[in-house]
Amino acid sequence: MFQADFVNANPLAEALPRTRAADPCAVVLFGATGDLAHRKLVPALFQLARGGSLPAEYAIVGFARRDWTDAEFRAQYHPALGKHGGPDFEEVWARFAPRLVFSQGAFDDPASYAALKETLDTLDRTHGTAGNRVFYLAVAPEYFATIIRGLGEAGLIYPRLQESPWSRVVIEKPFGRDLASARELNRDVSRTLDESQLYRIDHYLGKETVQNILALRFGNGIFEPIWNRLHVKAVQLTVAEEVGMAGGRGGYYDTAGALRDMVQNHMMQLLALVAMEPPTNLSADAVRDEKVKVLEALPRWRAEDVYRSVVRAQYSAGSMQGKEVPGYHEEKGVAPNSTTETYVAIRLELNNWRWAGVPFFLRTGKRLPKRATEIAIQFHKPPTALFEAEDGGLGGANELVLRIQPDEGASLRFEAKVPGSRRRLQSVRMDFRYGASFAIPTPEAYERLLLDVMLGDPTLFTRTDELENAWRFMTQILDAWHSPQAPPPDHYPAGTLGPESADKLIAADSTQWRRL
């Protein structure tokens, strides 16, 4: 094996390069006392403030039921942010803290929205936020429509075509539970909001390595000509997680399952980016127009096709890094007879000219032995075998692996001659590592996405037609699983790579899952 960097990157490149600054604005966090706000949103805003990426004038308004003062709200975040501190923490905090404001209210109470409006009007005067608003809905999905209606009725959402000041609404997943409920929610929110005011967040799209899929494919000349059915034998997409139901997630997860939680959103986005045609430019709609065509090319399946092409499974008790862990049914919040899947494997083909006949294998699961998100493009072997392959060699089947996380980077496997008098080949790997090539830290996905909302750039957010096409495909699977003919979920011990049925699924194409 030898290793080499593909390119030598410019270490001075900015982590979040921008040609223009975001407008002054207020960011209202619904669910400000919740887990997402604590773990991701406020830390991301703090990092943006630290890096000087936020507009000169801004305010962050926490909206929740608790009876907090501004000082109590700030006190919640001081220790949490301080943990990841840095030597300049207190200095940045001293500038950041006065921008944090609390507005008490209930999601279904018109008076609360009137009070929020007053707070925002005051902030326009005291903090220079210029009437621009981001409303971030980090709340359970049953509140999405209620909050948007509340905002609309209080006059907090500006008319659809008004450019300035602006109001934008960010919605966390899950956006619907199936095609019908996603459509209903779309209809509901479209009474108040225009598509251009709605930002459906999928945090995978904010990951630097996910954005790099487009850079690798369309910023280089050598990959695109071979990125099709003539040269690609199969594509494997893996999102493996070690975590189980930590942090009290069992209750939510048991109503969702791996298909809704990971495949419908994150994995469909990865698939779209890997399989799409080159866009004519990088504008939001040009990119999303191409992505949606991939989702339209997903197969139309009957129940029997689903049983043949999709494996679902639950983890049973097992061991992770030498420690015994409980099975899914023993987790807190999980119904004892639950059939919710913690693992899904899918074999699908895209019905278009570029990909017809190429199998795409998708798998995701909780309590797998290792955390790894990667996309492997597996190429055909050379037409004749002139050389002897070393044991375990690929026989000339080159493989390009995009490592989304951890150990972000990409590697290309190819064959090289083993030194000596024989004509033996062995697989070697050319490797690019973000950490080694770029001397700057990768920004958190939420930093990039929050900044994009403030800048009004929807490229990395899911459009209605993308969402509905992804749900159409998932709904076929969900419907088949709900049928009385559906086989029950399989099982895999925690700490293993999934059930045997997933190995059989891929073995039918004379191949196997990549080792992680």
Cβ distance to ligand BG6 smaller for residue 338 or 373: 373
Annotated catalytic, 266?
yes
Q: How many CB atoms lie within 10 A of CB 333?
A: 14
Residue 290 or residue 408: which is nearer to ligand BG6 going by CB?
A: 408
Joined tokens for residue 234: 């199969």
Does 242 bind ligand BG6 (CB under 6 A)? Our answer is: no
Q: Is the torsion defined by CA of 109, 61, 135, 171 positive or negative?
A: negative
Give the nearer residue to ligand BG6 in terms of CB position, either 352 or 442: 442
CB closer to ligand BG6 out of 243 and 507: 243
Which residue lies nearest ligand BG6, judged by its C-beta?
A: 261
Residue 44: HSE in the Cβ half-sphere, 13 Å Cα cutoff: 21
Q: Do residues 417 and 424 touch, judged by C-beta distance below 8 A?
A: yes
The CB-of-79 to ligand BG6 minimum distance in angstroms stands at: 23
Q: Would you say 134 and 455 are in contact if contact means Cβ atoms under 8 Å apart?
A: no
**Residue (of 256, 42, 43) closest to 141 by Cα position:** 256
The 338-377 site mask, x for binding ligand BG6 (CB under 6 A), equals -----------------------------------x----
Is the distance from CB of 338 to CB of 328 less than 8 angstroms? yes
Considering beta carbons, is residue 241 or 500 the nearer one to ligand BG6? 241
Cβ–Cβ < 8 Å for 28, 120: yes
Instruction: Tell me the β-bridge partners of 240.
Output: 365, 372
Site for ligand BG6, residues 287 to 346, rule: CB under 6 A: none
Catalytic residue among 127, 266, 380, 482: 266
Among 195, 241, 479, 490, binds ligand BG6 (CB under 6 A): 241
427's tokens: 């697989």
Contacts of 124 (CB under 8 A, 6+ apart): 26, 130, 131
The least CB distance from residue 405 to ligand BG6, in Å, is 6
Structure tokens at 290: 């191409």
Which residue lies nearer to ligand BG6 by CB, 243 or 356? 243
Supply the minimum distance, in Å, between the C-beta of residue 268 and ligand BG6: 13
Query: Minimum Å distance from CB 239 to ligand BG6?
Result: 7
Residue 187 carries which side chain, given as an amino acid letter? R
Site for ligand BG6 in 386-405 (CB under 6 A): none
Residue 34 gets which letter from DSSP?
A: S
Smallest gap, in angstroms, from Cβ of residue 252 to ligand BG6?
8
CB 492 to ligand BG6: min, Å: 17
Size of the site for ligand BG6 (CB under 6 A): 4
- 23, 208, 261, 415: residue in contact with ligand BG6 (rule CB under 6 A): 261
One-letter amino acid identity for 306? V
How far is Cα 223 from Cα 225, in angstroms, rounded to an integer? 6
Binding residues among 400-459 for ligand BG6 as defined by CB under 6 A: none
The partner residues of 425 in beta bridges, in order of sequence, read 389, 417
Q: Which residues pair with 150 in a beta bridge?
A: none
Residues forming the active site: 266
> Where on the chain is the footprint of ligand BG6 (CB under 6 A)?
241, 243, 261, 373
